[in-house]
A and B are shown apart, each in its own frame.
Chain A
Amino acid sequence: MELHLILIFMICTAIVAVEIKDLISSVIALSAVGLGLSLAFLILKAPNLAITQLVVEILCVIILIRATIDKDLPLVKDGRWLFNTISTFLFVSAFLFIVYFALRELPVFGQPLMRVSSEYIAVGSRETGASNIVSAITLNFRSYDALAEAVVLFTAIIGVLAVTRKIGKINEK
């Protein structure tokens, strides 16, 4: 029940974040979505994810506000809103129609298939020595997965630094 309330709250704030004209208000509405997601993780008993989500949300909001604080928003107002709305509704309804059949085949929410994961839960804590089973899976059973994530993040950091380098190194000559 609480989960549904939080989900409705998240959907409302996400719509606000998309539709509002002011850029900083949009960032703050987005942070409300993240806070709701963090609460949802807590209700679903995933404190590990909740901590990460909350912390990353704070950092993202600070970085986004810093990036957008003195940027003018070029408002795009063309006269094709009728066409845009109709095409959006068509695509969303087609998507939902297909997803409905796909989701029916999935296992019920809260009762996952336990083929490999039951093994992890059975021996994970004993074999790895880590009482936090999430860490045991991400850093031990699936360590190479974490390595690839780290590589992706590091590449992203290098990319951001390359883009935001000091302006006009060539022009100064």
Chain B
Amino acid sequence: MKSNQGGMTLIVKTVTRLTVGLILIYGIYIVLQGHLSPGGGFAGGVIIALSFIHLLLAFGKDTVLKRLNEARGLLLASIGAIIFLILATLGFMGKYYIFKPAREFELFGAGIMPLCDIAISLMVGMGLFVIFLALVLLIAEKKKR
């Protein structure tokens, strides 16, 4: 076993390694099926953020910061917000853009709604994860002093 670099015990780390991918995939599923079944951008985004938080709690903050640091998370959140804003302003251009195509019970058949879901999930998920990261870093900073 390697040196115990932060985080919890070996049992927690092993279980996390098995479950965290499933949680992430479930979050993506909830986002993409938002217009067909209960769920949607908000809940799915929070589940995606929870998978990252799960990783952070089990493995300590250094492992996560290597993959997704604060600036990059905030960038993703901003991209999500801008996508949603662009979609909304496009509604002003065409007269009935928002009420456009309709093919029921298809994954990409509800006009702009899947795109809106993806944008909201990016913004909510990454935003909440960045808040959690900021709190963690704040406490770490306080302990260092």
Contacts and interface: CB of A to CB of B under 8 A. Distances in A.
Interface residues of A, number: 44
Interface stretch (A18-26, A74-82, A110-118, A121-129): A121-129
B139 to A, nearest CB: 7
- The secondary-structure label for the interface of chain A is helix
A132 B34 contact: yes
A129 B39 CA distance: 16
A55 interface: yes
Contacts of A50: 38
A138 B113 CA distance: 10
A44 interface: no
Interface string A128-165: 11111011101110011011001101100100110011
12 contacts: A48-B38, A48-B39, A51-B38, A55-B47, A63-B132, A135-B35, A136-B35, A139-B35, A143-B88, A153-B124, A157-B130, A157-B131
A71 B135 CA distance: 13
Contacts of A138: 40
A151 B88 CA distance: 12
Nearest to B96: A127
A58 interface: yes
Contacts of A139: 34-35, 40-41, 112-113, 116-117
Contacts of A144: 88, 91
Contacts of A70: 139
B43 A140 contact: no
Given A127-B99, A157-B130, A132 B116 contact: no
Contacts, number: 152
B110 A130 contact: yes
Given A130-B113, A131-B104, A143 B135 contact: no
A166 interface: yes
B80 to A, nearest CB: 8
Contacts of B36: 130-132
A73 B46 CA distance: 29
B141 A167 contact: yes
A161 B130 contact: yes
B85 interface: yes
B58 interface: no
B109 interface: yes
A48, A55, A63: residue with the most chain B Cβ atoms closer than 10 Å: A55
A92 interface: no
A51 B43 contact: yes
B20 interface: no
Contact of B134 (A48, A153, A160): A160
Given A66-B132, A132-B38, A167-B138, 6 more contacts: A129-B106, A131-B37, A132-B40, A135-B35, A140-B110, A161-B130
